[in-house]
Structure 1
């Protein structure tokens, strides 16, 4: 199940490159993601499609870099919706993004715990 949410080959490569800093990378991604989700919510509340598009684009990139393909794909959909200014479609998609982020967050916490052993 976790394989669809996290690409373990990407995480393995990051772990090899980052070595002792891998947990810092995970913590930074998680903290940044919470901030990006907040920006997405604020942009939606303000009906600001440009800010929403930029926040979704930024989140998409970081999710992709961390090996979270489902989350990255959802962010791409949100970016496209914002580009087309179809904000009526955004709330349901943002809920999906938030739910997927919780799954990814949980799986990354497991990765982090495994790193400490």
Structure 2
């Protein structure tokens, strides 16, 4: 689900600031995944693609490549205004975000 080596390197590099970075990512995940669902429901593909792009970058930077790739697919489908594909991808993103949140919280937030 994520690259533990990248997370370890970031943790060593950022030291005390690492936990704050994880907290920010988790907060963004909690807000932005439901936002994507709302934008999809409203067929607001422009806002949806921007939010997906933001989560894609943040995820990849943290070594959470699978979720980053999924967000990239959502971004691409939104840009192409493929509502069915967006809905299908979001049905995967929601549960993945919950799993990510749980695992990252257990690993880094004490």
TM-score, normalised to structure 2, is 0.92
Q: Which residue of 1 aligns with 2:38?
A: 42
Q: Distance in 1 between matches of 2:70 and 2:7?
A: 20
State the shift of 1:42 in Å.
1.8
SS at match of 1:107: helix
SS at match of 2:81: coil
Q: Distance in 1 between matches of 2:79 and 2:60?
A: 20
Counterparts of residues 9-48 of structure 1 (less than 5 Å): 9-48=5-44
Q: CA RMSD in A?
A: 1.3
Runs of 4+ that moved beyond 4 A = none
For structure 1, which runs of at least 5 residues remain unmatched after alignment?
A: none
Counterparts of residues 72-83 of structure 1 (less than 5 Å): 72-83=68-79
TM-score, normalised to structure 1, is 0.87
> What is the aligned length?
110
Q: Which residue of 1 aligns with 2:62?
A: 66
Q: Which residue of 2 aligns with 1:56?
A: 52
Q: Distance in 2 between matches of 1:108 and 1:41?
A: 22
Q: Distance in 2 between matches of 1:30 and 1:71?
A: 13
For structure 2, which runs of at least 5 residues remain unmatched after alignment?
A: none
Paired residue for 2:97, among 80, 96, 101?
Answer: 101
Q: Distance in 1 between matches of 2:104 and 2:62?
A: 10
